[in-house]
Chains A and B, each alone.
Chain A
Amino acid sequence: MMTLTDDQRMLQDTVRPFMAEEGAIKKELRHWRDTGCTDGYGTGLWKQFAELGLTGILIPESEGGAGLGAVEAGLVLEEIGRNLTPSPFLTTAVAAVRALEGSAQAKRWFPGILAGETVAALAVEEGRHHDPEGVALEAKRQGNGFVLNGAKQFVVHGNSADVILVAARTAGSAGETDGLTLFALEKGAGGLDVGTATLADSSKAARLNFDNVAVDADAVVGEVDGGWAPLSRALTAGRAGAASELVGVASGASEMTFEYLKQRKQFGKLIGEYQVLQHRAAHLYGEIEIARAAALKAAQLLDAGDPRAELMTSVAKAKAAKSAALAVQEGVQMHGGIGMTDEHDIGLYMKREAVLSELFGGPRFHTARVAELSGY
């Protein structure tokens, strides 16, 4: 059933007002941006997430978490998106937890994540576009461990992360899924150069340079040469989560815009009275609802372990990105001049949408993947 269960509704009823208040744009995004925060998010709020049990939402109950699934994580992310709340939730509580689950590394990192003290980042990209199979960063065996050489970029929260999950190549060549190994690299490793970039949405992403970075063998997540399994778990969860967050971004931007149509007067009429804007607004509403359904379906299939989940996740990521792009573009345009000012929040939605759209693969990447997974 594609309606929410009572428990899911209760979670939504808790998270929605919490995020609207504690994670509000003025309180978090603008505050940290305008005070030059080096993390790009508030560690206090991350603690509050932990107190609500959100940081461990996907961690099994046997390990102290809530043991919930992608649908529930998606509900949280939708509210994060709606309020543009800066948070390491997606990379840490969703992607990293899915990568680490079932591995020896889970014991090392889950307690900190549960406590809201640990932040994780995923280091996959080596070029401008998402290409997880193209990982070339080299990991060579040396003594009891490995030595890493190469570079990563677009490592979201990489500058403040306590642990970075690094996809490296231990065998095979770029373009192959076999021969990858995922390492859980602790903060402050020797030979690791961390360059911080502030992204358009004021979040922080790192460019990492690995110059003979030594790691122990026990830092391997899962199997050596078998890193594709934990990596793809993380990516799939991350993509589905990003789709939900994009739906939240689209919802927040469109609701703000629909309100504006009811307030702004030109030529003696509310601009929402003009049919040319009414029809565009109605079309936008439909696109967002369709994206919401796609994201929910992907999350449900993931939670059910259904083989169609991979396809649906790419569908959802592509659809949510396109719908959110429409929402922010129509949002700025319908706001007119005020929409171009930093003072107004609508432009912040456009900037967040751009980053989330690219994260874990843009709409073109996922559209191509839909064709491949559909067999054409």
Chain B
Amino acid sequence: MADLDEFRAETRAWLDANCPSEMRTPMRSEKDACWGGRHFQFQSPAQKQWLDVMASRGWTVPDWPKEYGGGGLSPAETKILKEEMAALGCRSPLTSFGISMLGPALLKYGTEEQKKHYLTQIARGEIRWCQGYSEPGAGSDLAGLQTKAEDKGDYYLVNGQKVWTSYADQADWIFCLVRTSSESKHGGISFLLFDMESPGVSTKPILLISGNSPFCETFFDDVKVPKDQLVGEENKGWDVAKYLLGHEREMISGMGLGGEKEALGKSLGGIDDPLLRAEIAAFDVDAISFAAMSERFIDQLKAGEAHPAMPSMMKYAGTELNKRRHELIMAADGSDALEWDSERSKGGKAARDWLRTKANSIEGGTSEIQLGIVAKHILRLPGA
């Protein structure tokens, strides 16, 4: 305990000395995040400085091993770092699908060369990744994917189409599920990594009901992928995919926490309507409880005590909560919140954020898929 207290004190002092003041204000949207990558335009010198100083300490990925660019911190130390960052209001230095999704899968399934090569780049924010999972005919039934990878000796030839590829138009590389065999549904899938600048890759943004386009359609036309970019064994990519999905769901479940430190009712200011106040208070009971659950889940995960299907429960609960949060914000703001394009509405932020949340319970596996996974793997209900 004394060591941890010392670590906490040192961490606080270091963060206080090294985190620029501009990086200690709350992020207003995903646009304020530092995504890294070859084409990333830093919003300010402070944003770049914060990324560099954290990456050099290995603290963009504090719990990864040092040899792969991580900080080598224990679960308890990682938790302290997060708490101290929260206490000082430090922004996350790097938001990345490489950190939250691909990294953990590579740590488990990657070769030593792959780990050394990709993980260090992820830790430094040099490569921005996107996820090639869903296809037009394979949404909830993800394993029904048809994008084909043909064995051509020293490379795979990839042809097909992905959809709902988050930020594909801004990504440098993709981690992608492809079909290498048609003999078995789940047993014919492989997990490939490749450069989005490879000849034959093209993307097209999808306009959503929020008026924004965070997702793309992604097309592969005779894309050549070197064989050393296969993760895990050929035809065993479903294991990698599922493992990664667990981490994706864990990340998405964090939306249930909101970005605010205070209760929703407090952040909305005075609520005169007693019926709305009651609804918001009931929401806050659920939200604060969910925050406790999140903390418990992460602690159990690090201790190896979490059920493998627990991310599904968390994803379901967290995203449903986030949708409810935005329904209440809309209700509290009344007709103000309906302004879609006006000066005082900051470009229709309330309404667009509200609509964005509707995807939360669809992306990364729908709420119904998550409930099915909990029923089957945790409750062991028959035929689930």
User: In the complex, which residue of chain B has the Cβ closest to the Cβ of A376?
Assistant: B265
CA distance A281 to B376 in the complex (A): 11
Contact A367 B379 (CB under 8 A): no
Contact A3 B299 (CB under 8 A): yes
A312 at the interface (CB under 8 A from B): yes
A257 → chain B closest CB, angstroms: 10
| Contact among B269, B284, B316, B381 with A272 in the assembled complex (CB-CB below 8 Å) | B381
Contact B303 A290 (CB under 8 A): no
A270 at the interface (CB under 8 A from B): yes
- Which stretch (A65-73, A292-300, A353-361) binds chain B? A292-300
Contact B381 A370 (CB under 8 A): no
A residues 1-52 near B (Cβ < 8 Å) are 1-3
Contact B374 A312 (CB under 8 A): no
Contact B296 A296 (CB under 8 A): yes
- Which stretch (B133-141, B177-185, B231-239, B275-283) binds chain A? B275-283
Contact B375 A282 (CB under 8 A): yes
Q: Chain A: interface secondary structure?
A: helix
A368 at the interface (CB under 8 A from B): yes
Contact B375 A281 (CB under 8 A): yes
A145 at the interface (CB under 8 A from B): no
Residues of B within 8 A of A1 (CB): 76, 79, 299, 303
Contact B288 A370 (CB under 8 A): yes
Contact A3 B305 (CB under 8 A): yes
User: In the complex, which residue of chain A has the Cβ closest to the Cβ of B76?
Assistant: A1
Contact B296 A2 (CB under 8 A): yes
Contact B289 A293 (CB under 8 A): yes
Contact B281 A367 (CB under 8 A): yes
User: In the complex, which residue of chain A has the Cβ closest to the Cβ of B384?
Assistant: A278
Residues of A within 8 A of B371 (CB): 278-279, 282-283
CA distance A315 to B286 in the complex (A): 8
A284 → chain B closest CB, angstroms: 9
Contact B281 A371 (CB under 8 A): yes
| Contact among B271, B278, B313, B382 with A289 in the assembled complex (CB-CB below 8 Å) | B313
Residues of B within 8 A of A318 (CB): 285
Known A-B contacts A2-B292, A279-B372, A296-B296; the reply to A376 vs B381 at CB < 8 A is no
B38 at the interface (CB under 8 A from A): no
Contact A374 B265 (CB under 8 A): yes
User: In the complex, which residue of chain A has the Cβ closest to the Cβ of B309?
Assistant: A282
Residues of B within 8 A of A290 (CB): 286, 289-290, 292-293, 317
B383 at the interface (CB under 8 A from A): yes
Residues of B within 8 A of A316 (CB): 289
Known A-B contacts A290-B293, A293-B295; the reply to A278 vs B284 at CB < 8 A is no
Contact B289 A374 (CB under 8 A): no
Contact B381 A262 (CB under 8 A): yes
A98 at the interface (CB under 8 A from B): no
User: In the complex, which residue of chain B has the Cβ closest to the Cβ of A278?
Assistant: B375
A302 at the interface (CB under 8 A from B): no
B341 at the interface (CB under 8 A from A): no
B266 at the interface (CB under 8 A from A): yes
B273 → chain A closest CB, angstroms: 12
A273 at the interface (CB under 8 A from B): yes
Contact B374 A285 (CB under 8 A): yes
Known A-B contacts A2-B299, A312-B288, A370-B285; the reply to A262 vs B372 at CB < 8 A is no
User: In the complex, which residue of chain B has the Cβ closest to the Cβ of A283?
Assistant: B371
B333 at the interface (CB under 8 A from A): no
A369 → chain B closest CB, angstroms: 9
Known A-B contacts A279-B375, A290-B293, A370-B281; the reply to A375 vs B382 at CB < 8 A is no
CA distance A159 to B371 in the complex (A): 47
Known A-B contacts A1-B299, A297-B295, A312-B288; the reply to A375 vs B266 at CB < 8 A is yes
Contact B284 A285 (CB under 8 A): no
Residues of A within 8 A of B372 (CB): 275, 278-279, 282
Residues of B within 8 A of A291 (CB): 289
Q: Chain B: interface secondary structure?
A: helix
B26 → chain A closest CB, angstroms: 18
B327 at the interface (CB under 8 A from A): no
Residues of A within 8 A of B334 (CB): none
Residues of A within 8 A of B286 (CB): 290, 319
Residues of A within 8 A of B303 (CB): 1, 3
Contact A286 B316 (CB under 8 A): yes
User: In the complex, which residue of chain A has the Cβ closest to the Cβ of B287?
Assistant: A315
CA distance A2 to B380 in the complex (A): 26
B298 → chain A closest CB, angstroms: 8
A365 → chain B closest CB, angstroms: 11
Contact A285 B313 (CB under 8 A): yes
A261 at the interface (CB under 8 A from B): yes
Residue among B265, B290, B293 having the largest count of chain A Cβ atoms under 10 Å: B293
Contact B382 A270 (CB under 8 A): yes
Residues of B within 8 A of A371 (CB): 263, 265, 277, 280-281, 284
B300 at the interface (CB under 8 A from A): yes
Contact A367 B292 (CB under 8 A): no
Residues of A within 8 A of B370 (CB): 282
A residues 306-356 near B (Cβ < 8 Å) are 311-312, 315-316, 318-319, 322
B286 → chain A closest CB, angstroms: 7
B262 at the interface (CB under 8 A from A): yes
User: In the complex, which residue of chain B has the Cβ closest to the Cβ of A321?
Assistant: B285
B336 at the interface (CB under 8 A from A): no
Residues of A within 8 A of B382 (CB): 261-262, 270, 272-273
Contact B381 A258 (CB under 8 A): yes
CA distance A367 to B285 in the complex (A): 7
CA distance A322 to B284 in the complex (A): 13
Residues of A within 8 A of B368 (CB): 279
Contact B293 A270 (CB under 8 A): no
User: In the complex, which residue of chain B has the Cβ closest to the Cβ of A369?
Assistant: B281
B45 at the interface (CB under 8 A from A): no
Residues of B within 8 A of A270 (CB): 382-383
Contact B266 A376 (CB under 8 A): yes
User: In the complex, which residue of chain A has the Cβ closest to the Cβ of B75?
Assistant: A1
CA distance A21 to B278 in the complex (A): 42
User: In the complex, which residue of chain B has the Cβ closest to the Cβ of A287?
Assistant: B317
Closest 5 CB pairs of A and B: A374-B263, A282-B374, A297-B292, A278-B375, A2-B296
Report which A residues bind B (CB closer than 8 A).
1-3, 258, 261-262, 269-270, 272-273, 275, 277-279, 281-283, 285-286, 289-291, 293-294, 296-297, 311-312, 315-316, 318-319, 322, 363, 366-368, 370-371, 374-376
List 18 A–B pairs whose Cβ atoms lie within 8 Å, in order of A's numbering: A2-B300, A272-B381, A273-B383, A278-B381, A278-B384, A279-B371, A279-B372, A281-B379, A282-B316, A282-B370, A290-B290, A293-B295, A294-B289, A297-B292, A297-B296, A318-B285, A376-B266, A376-B269
Known: A258-B379, A273-B383, A376-B271. 17 other contacts (CB 8 A): A3-B305, A261-B381, A262-B380, A262-B381, A270-B382, A272-B381, A278-B381, A279-B371, A283-B371, A285-B313, A289-B293, A290-B286, A290-B292, A293-B295, A367-B285, A370-B284, A371-B280
